[in-house]
């Protein structure tokens, strides 16, 4: 068992050093995928998918239950909009501050602020117009690609699920993210490829920010400290190798 402690400690140090690089690599891969989707969209390679799904949405909107579905989609889109995300963020951050989880509150706020700026920058870079295949059932003023609703809610609900660390939280987050993304196509204000790119962008940003995800209740930090204390490169043992040998010998006796 004791031989495993140095390996565990070394792995802990390695993960802490390589984590930012892995997070940056995941974000770079996500942005590369977003670029590929943008190029494919402009080249017309995604027209079959985009037009086909949006025409289906238009037909469904005129169906018997279309009006009821539209009402639900409007509500989902409103909750996932900028104002809705800010309200939900405040509802979560303020209790975190009062409960002593300031690191989690700060991480969540910084993650959302940085992700919002990233999406705004990408919209300006690609400058894609909104689809005009269907009448818009929502008021929009910004560019279309990538979808801010899809990216922002992937970041928000994904971050909340990461902080909760429960399987049910991930399922609930996935359902909310999917519903809000689909609502943007149903309302005629985004191509499906806009939504897909937003999801990928949000996932990449989460992977990057997840490197600094705070430990829940300090458990991870305490575990890391325990590993470091047992590691022979930490503390007094690193200064006197003979002490390590004597201790191992004493334990065997």
Q: Does pLDDT of 101 surpass 80?
A: yes
CB 191 within 8 A of CB 50: yes
Q: How far apart are the first and last CA of the chain?
A: 16
pLDDT in tens, 169-226: 999 999 999 999 999 999 999 999 999 999 999 999 999 999 999 876 544 444 444 4
Q: Which domains does the chain have, with CATH numbers?
A: 49-232 (1.20.144)
Please report how many Cα atoms fall inside a 13 Å half-sphere around the Cα of residue 52, on the Cβ side: 5
> For 90-99, 132-141, 238-247, which range has the lowest pLDDT when averaged over its residues?
238-247
> For 26-35, 98-107, 125-134, which range has the lowest pLDDT when averaged over its residues?
98-107
The token pair at 45 is: 């390679």
Whether the link from the prior residue into 250 is cis, omega within 30° of 0, is no
CB 80 within 8 A of CB 151: no
How does DSSP classify residue 40? H
Q: Which residues contact 187 (CB under 8 A, 6 or more apart)?
A: 70, 73, 74, 77, 136, 137, 138
164 CB neighbour count, 10 Å cutoff: 14
Q: Does pLDDT of 116 surpass 50?
A: yes
pTM summary value: 0.80
Question: Which contiguous run of DSSP H or E holds residue 175?
Answer: helix 167-186
d(CA 45, CA 58): 21
Quickly state the pLDDT bin for 49 (edges 50, 70, 90): very high
Q: Which residues contact 200 (CB under 8 A, 6 or more apart)?
A: 30, 33, 34, 37, 146
């Amino acid at each position: 068992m004791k031989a495993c402690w140095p390996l565990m400690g070394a792995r802990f140090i390695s993960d802490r050093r390589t984590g930012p690089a892995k997070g940056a690599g995941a974000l770079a891969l996500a942005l590369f995928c977003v670029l590929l989707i943008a190029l494919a969209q402009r080249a017309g390679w995604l027209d079959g998918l985009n037009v086909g799904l949006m025409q289906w949405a238009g037909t469904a909107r005129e169906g018997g239950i279309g009006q009821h579905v539209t009402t639900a989609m409007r509500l989902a889109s409103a909750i996932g909009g900028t104002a809705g995300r800010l309200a939900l963020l405040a509802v979560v951050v303020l209790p975190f501050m009062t409960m002593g989880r300031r690191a989690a509150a700060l991480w969540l706020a910084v993650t959302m602020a940085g992700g919002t700026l990233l999406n705004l920058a990408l919209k300006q870079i690609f400058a894609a117009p909104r689809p005009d295949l269907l009448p818009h059932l929502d008021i929009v003023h910004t560019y279309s690609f990538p979808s801010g609703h899809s990216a922002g809610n992937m970041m928000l609900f994904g971050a909340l699920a990461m902080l909760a660390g429960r399987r049910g939280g991930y399922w609930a987050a996935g359902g909310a993210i999917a519903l809000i993304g689909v609502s943007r196509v149903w309302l005629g204000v985004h191509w499906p490829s806009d939504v897909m790119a937003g999801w990928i962008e949000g996932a990449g940003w989460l992977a990057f920010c997840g490197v600094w995800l705070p430990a829940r209740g300090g458990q991870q930090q305490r575990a890391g400290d325990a590993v470091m204390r047992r590691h022979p490169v930490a503390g007094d043992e690193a200064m006197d190798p003979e002490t390590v040998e004597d201790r191992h010998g004493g334990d065997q006796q």
